[in-house]
Structure 1
């Protein structure tokens, strides 16, 4: 049994969801795991039962080394899902690192300079995977490229009749990048459209999943809404997803893969952050994003990958505000969403395309990721 420290960047639910997916499998193999982090990453971690210990502290805070440094000295490995400060502390303490990276295509020239020096980098194949000159052609020897790191079950239990609609905003915020009520009102604008302009009568129940802050504010604003606002743990989310009639989600890092893996009709809301904008572009290009509403359908297209990381977010937020404050665009978005939700005849072809997309990327991503981490633990143990 190895002692592992686990961290994820506090950026919505994508990195934390990926980390929890992997951590649950590592815990099932008998390893002891300590999670350390804050914000939306902590929200998901606290709802998982795979940890021996949870340390609540921002990984970039001055007190993080005081709280976690001694644990690193006693640990065998750090598993980080794109959380940079924890990796830098681990390197300082001589702790081997497994870096989980579902965003290799995103970093550009701003990838960490120490990536080639880490013991293991597990790269999730996604954007650009089908291109002859994609981002996976020439990677350092310590990189292992795998398919989507996602659990393939349980299979969907819903049928063609009336069932629940699961609406997903993900974590909906990211420390130091964007927050609802400060930089954007996206989730509340979409909820208002759902409640006032979109036909939801074909569903037996509507559950809106989001981060804690958004769910609490939505319950305050709409106390009598015929909709449930919840912050779900990862296992609970996957369970709800498996029995949904349809899944309406932001085009995030983790949830679309889980929707396709579960065989649930997956429909896309407009993006709520800059990486989602690029991902929805890719989903459409690959034929799995036809059931979607995109900001580029109503506003000038953005070429975000050509800009530095911080500029990407700022440019996107500026356009998102245009959507939020323009009644005609909001009405057009609502009409398109209502059309998608009331024409189920197009859903099953989309499910088949989603399955084919996962087949192309590789169905064994989670297994290969966990195997690579366990092999690293074994190697480090032999060399100790």
Structure 2
């Protein structure tokens, strides 16, 4: 079997979540898996049974020598949108797999990833623009359905899961510095929603934010936690209802599991655009979009740094408007109370949507990686 180095961009929990879903299947194939990463990606990786884990900030040029040492001992790099590790792997002549779960989102795709040995494009949103722009330029492009983790069925628990995802991306925005989203949203949910009918309410996010929330709301009925990826899948798939920021990973899990889902206001630019798409496709039957209460932001085609600033600016306005917060809270409370009216349609549409994209692409991704390894002499 092959020695694989796995990396994920240090951007909340999205890239690492996708990587772990594929890692489960690669491990079953018998490969030796080593993770290298930092920040929110490392938080989730530490709870996964990798054969080895290295704390390396791949975005920091000072880490290059250490990263080179680790990658040099591998047969293949599997990168979930972490560009620096791809640069190192290509310089060393290593096989490289690129997992892109935001193909539709990019205003540009770096030329260096166009020639990787395997480019896995996850299908979800309308990606016609980038398909026309890049499909013929990508050497080994493989499109597949959403990459989704394995979830068991079973009875629902009388609980709610609230997910803010990783809540921050250090080189883009940081909670408590650029945004107070988790704290403002938690305050809204505590003030506006009646939780008395549920046995438990879990708020899942990154370790640092969960700790700060516990300090700020010490006597709340919420349990603030950072959940290992497999535990998160379990809690999500067995909850009565979930409230989530409209990130890609958690949304796909909600569609696949058939868990009634309320979309919270977006906390970053990709979530803003994703919620737009979910609403357009009739998938977000229960939502509280920023654009429902504040001027709509036109983010399509805007450079990523600029669109990030636009959303953070509007979130700052949201944080400073008690009236808007009250309206959001009232909407969320009503959606929870009336969930029987919309949950059946949500479950039906969500599953049909995932099926229309080819079903769970995690298996296809793992199989393509295996085929690439075999084609290059690894068994």
Name the TM-score class by shorter chain: over 0.9
- How big is the shift at 1:62? 3.1
| 2:217 counterpart of 1:218 | no
Q: Distance in 1 between matches of 2:320 and 2:126?
A: 33
Aligned residues: 375
1:16-36 deviations in whole A, cap 9, x for unaligned?
A: 100111111111211011100
Contact 2:97 2:118 in 1 (8 A): yes
Q: Are 2:361 and 1:365 aligned?
A: yes
Q: 1:134 to 1:341 in 2, by over 3 A?
A: same
Aligned partner of 2:153 in structure 1 is: 155
Task: Say if 2:260 is the partner of 1:265.
Answer: yes
- Give per-residue Cα distances to partners, 1:310-361, cap 9 Å, x unaligned: 1010111001111111111000000000011111222121111111111111
Alignment partner of 1:294 is 2:292: no
Distance 2:327 2:154 in 1: 31
Contact 1:156/1:264, CA 8 A, preserved across alignment: no
1:316 partnered with 2:311: yes
> Which residue is equivalent to 1:334?
329
C-alpha separation in 2, matches of 1:279 and 1:381: 40
TM-score w.r.t. the length of structure 2 is 0.96
- Written as runs of structure 1 = structure 2, the 5 A alignment for 1:1-384 is 1-49=1-49, 51-108=50-107, 110-128=108-126, 133=128, 135-136=130-131, 139=135, 140-158=138-156, 163-345=158-340, 346-381=342-377
SS class of match (2:248)? coil
Contiguous gaps of at least 5 residues in structure 1 = none
Q: Note if contact 1:8-1:15 (Cα within 8 Å) is conserved in structure 2.
A: yes
The TM-score normalised by the length of structure 1 is 0.95
User: 1: distance between equivalents of 2:298 and 2:100?
Assistant: 22
Post-superposition shift, 1:261?
A: 1.0
TM-superposed CA distance for 1:156, in Å, is: 4.8
Closer, same or farther: CA 226–259 of 1 in aligned 2, 3 Å: same
- Cα 1:377–1:196 change in 2 (3 A) is same
Superimposed CA distance per residue, residues 130-150 of structure 1 (whole angstroms, 9 cap, x where no aligned partner): xxx454456134110000000
Assess if the C-alpha contact under 8 Å between 2:260 and 2:347 holds in 1. yes
Q: Distance in 1 between matches of 2:37 and 2:360?
A: 28
The secondary structure found in structure 2 opposite 1:114 is helix
Query: What runs of 5+ residues in structure 2 fail to find an aligned partner?
Result: none
**CA RMSD in angstroms, aligned pairs only:** 1.5
In the alignment, is the contact (CA less than 8 A) between 1:189 and 1:324 conserved in 2? yes
CA–CA distance in structure 1, aligned partners of residues 70 and 184 of structure 2: 43
Distance 1:177 1:115 in 2: 21
Task: Report the secondary structure of 2:198's partner residue.
Answer: coil
